[in-house]
Amino acid sequence: MVLVPAIQTWFGTSGKGILTASLLLGMMILPTVINTAESALRAVPAAYYEGALALGATREQGVMRVMIPAAGSGILSGVVLGVGRAVGETMAVVMIAGNQAVMPDSILSGVRTLTANIVLEMAYAAQLHREALIATAVVLFVFILLINLSFSAIRKGKQI
């Protein structure tokens, strides 16, 4: 009701494409990330912040150099949950991304996601078509596995 007409007006396209779906997913995952990050920041003892201020840090330094690193694990967890939610949001993307089984030529072109492709075609798929959909599911699984492994490597690299 808001994004598609806005994209139509600004870019002169159908409005259903990768850009619109990306903006929608960004807005959909923000509450998850923000709530988890806020909970992680509230769990940090107030003495950390007060100690930073007592040692001469400004408010910004106390937050950026003490509070956020202390809550880093919880903030990273929120990002992981948000990315997981974005990967799993099939219906919103099907409606907004155009649901076109073609290779996109630009960020404004319509597209069909891997998850939507599996959901929409599995009911009538047979033989080679079914095997291709299962291979698509394996690609999606590997993609999610790589995302989780990269977040794990980030967490271990920063010693959170």
Q: What is the pLDDT of residues 41-88, one digit of tens each?
A: 999 999 999 999 999 999 999 999 999 999 988 998 898 888 888 887
Q: Which domains are assigned to the chain? A: 3-158 (1.10.3720.10)
* Residue segments in the chain with a per-residue pLDDT below the cut of 70: 158-160
Helices (H), 2-99: 3-11, 18-43, 46-54, 59-62, 68-70, 72-88, 90-96
* Cα–Cα dist 109/13, whole Å: 8
Report how far apart the first and last C-alpha atoms of the chain are (Å, whole number).
Answer: 41
Neighbours of 7 (CB within 10 A): 20
* Tokens 């107030």, located at residue: 46
- Say what the pLDDT of residue 159 is: 56
pTM flag (> 0.85): no
Question: Can you name the residues that pair with 108 across neighbouring β-strands?
Answer: none
Main-chain phi, psi angles of 124, to 5 degrees: -115, 5
* Cα–Cα dist 75/39, whole Å: 9
